[in-house]
Amino acid sequence: MNHDPTRGHTAHGTSGPLKPSPQPGRRTIHKGGLAANFWDYVERSTGERGLPRFLWQGTVLTLLYRLPTIGACILRSFVYRTVLGGIGSSCLIEADVRLHVPKRIFLGNRVFVGQYSYLDGQTSFLRLGNDVHLARFCTLRAGERGITIHDGAGINTRAYIDGNGEVEIGRNALLSPGVQVISGNHVFDRTDIPIRDQGTAYGKVTIGEDCWLGTNAILLPGVTVGRGSVVGAGAVVTRDFPDFSIALGVPARVVGRRGATGEKVDFV
């Protein structure tokens, strides 16, 4: 079988000119022994192989991340300036927020980060604009190309956003509980080697400003949801939607347009 990873099938069944990234022999734990694994952990946590940042970052986060009360939320917003890439004024970071590679995480003014959320700068960046609200139990993983969330966006509980292929979320967009934004898929064309060794196909996901994504909606790599669109609960978005679309179903399809005179949309 001829293998073209740029147009290969993926775990979600999409195909198209996504960007491949081969990962032969990738492992979570290094074979090189304790020392190699230690330095891998240092780099994974801080983004660099150096003890000063690792020790300082570990001290700051260990001492502060579990502290309760609003006072501790305010205290974290000040002290975390020493480990984050950037943080604006009047931010609130609740207890038990886990940060990986915080030097690649940038928060605007008045950003709220809810308890038990996980923010991972990985090898690129997380940028949250002014007045972004990140509810509890959310996961943001920057991956290789990063996540940008513009001003006023609201990300509800247990949302998952993967930035491997890049994700951009527009101003005042609303993501309901359980929304998943996936910008990378496994390639699985070949049967002679494991799927994990066939690489990953990436594609940028763009969510326009003032969109509303319903509970448990899923967006797959390479899609654009136009400005002011509404995506119904449980929908799986596999293609682009124009501005002000109303989309439902698996796979999601446009069933109406916001503002259309006399048009009634059946959400059942």
Catalytic hit among 9, 12, 30, 186? 186
- Rounded CA-CA distance 245/253 in Å is 9
Pairing, β 230-231 against β 98-100: unpaired
Pairing, β 19-21 against β 98-100: unpaired
Among all chains, which residue has been given the structure tokens 């995506």?
Answer: 231
- Rounded CA-CA distance 149/122 in Å is 16
How far from 85 is each of 100, 104, 127, CA to CA, in Å?
Answer: 12, 5, 10
For residue 202 the two structure tokens come to 């990436």
Q: Has 186 been annotated as catalytic?
A: yes
Please tell me whether residue 151 adopts helix, strand or coil conformation. coil
Q: Any idea which residues carry the catalytic annotation?
A: 186
